[in-house]
Amino acid sequence: MQLSLNPWITSPDERIEEETPDVYVPPAAVISAPLKGMVEPDTADRLASRTMSGTAALWVVGSHGGAGESRTADLLDGARPTGHCWPVLQEGSKPRVLLVCRADLRGLTTAQSALTQWASGAAPAVDLLGLAVLADAPGKTPKALRDFASIVGGGAPRLWTLPWVEAWRHGDSTTTPTAREYQRFITDVTALVTDFNPSANH
């Protein structure tokens, strides 16, 4: 189809493209706060709370042992792992939190319980950015687990699904994964933390 131009304009207006914002916008939150009427999980299925010393731009909470809590914290500037506990800050401010789990059935089930705990208001008050699901093995995640991850992630403000990193298996924790999913994840979370904390320099 041929484009008809206004004869009074000598060329198409190129300002439209220039006006596109150059600021990166992370994914919008699906749920941003606990929900009224959500039934809290059994006590045995809840994450404990722990008073944290010091400060962090972001607290990374693994929903189970081996979730990748420390690995994920190493990827993000100013992040600290909590040892599989909801952080409580000594000065009483609301901590920014990222929940992480592995993509196996146990990991996803514990993440679902942690999200239910948060959504029901049974967890301490936190600014939950979302859930990061880390692959538990090389290769493609089975469809049943991918589907379950989507369901579990639907209870989080945001969901990031991250692939297997072979270098981590061999003890290389200094190299940032080059997979585009990790690059996007780091960009997303950094933007969110900066947005929540305008005084941050990173």
Separation of alpha carbons 111 and 195, rounded Å:
25
Considering only CA atoms, which of 38, 41, 87 is closest in space to residue 62? 87
Considering only CA atoms, which of 145, 54, 131, 73 is closest in space to residue 100? 131
Each residue's pLDDT tens digit, 6-56: 444 444 444 444 444 566 778 888 888 888 778 888 888 889 999 999 899
Each residue's pLDDT tens digit, 136-158: 999 999 999 999 999 999 999 99
CB atoms within 10 A of CB 197: 15
pTM recorded for the entire structure: 0.82
Residue type, 107: G
Cβ neighbors of 155 (< 8 A, separation 6 or more) are: 31, 112, 115, 116, 119
